[in-house]
């Protein structure tokens, strides 16, 4: 199956288990893989025959900036579900990272990775 990959989507949101995460907010980063048949668009050269990834980017940013969840697991599931509503998308992979997780003496990032499909 063909795919479109979109990496490095960044948005500021207020999702997190700790109260300060929901009040102060934090940056989130998202990488996407959208499985879609690209053969028709490859022949027609017409955007209506593919997924307009600008719409996918806008959906991700909107979910992050408006979500009011305690867990990033809920956020990543909401993002995946929303992306599956795009016409022509059969499956999605969403990688969501918190680059500055509020954990003492930890300088890394936390990443969740889910794959969802219509079936």
Is 98 a residue of the active site?
Answer: yes
Q: Distance between CA 94 and CA 114 in Å, rounded?
A: 5
- Choose the catalytic residue: 68, 88, 98, 109: 98
Question: Per residue in 11-37, is it b (16+ CB within 10 Å) or e — as a string?
Answer: bebbbbeeeebbeeebebbbbbebbbe
- By annotation, the residues acting in catalysis are 98
């Amino acid at each position: 199956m063909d795919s479109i990959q979109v990496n490095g989507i960044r948005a500021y949101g207020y999702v997190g288990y700790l109260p300060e995460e929901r009040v102060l907010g934090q940056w989130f980063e998202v990488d996407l893989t959208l499985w879609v048949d690209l053969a028709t668009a490859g022949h027609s050269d017409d955007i209506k025959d593919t997924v307009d990834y600008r719409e996918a980017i806008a959906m991700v940013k909107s979910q992050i900036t408006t979500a009011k969840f305690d867990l990033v697991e809920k956020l990543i599931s909401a993002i995946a579900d929303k992306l599956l509503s795009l016409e022509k998308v059969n499956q999605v992979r969403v990688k969501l990272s918190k680059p500055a997780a509020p954990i003492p003496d930890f300088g890394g990032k936390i990443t969740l990775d889910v794959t969802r499909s219509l079936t």
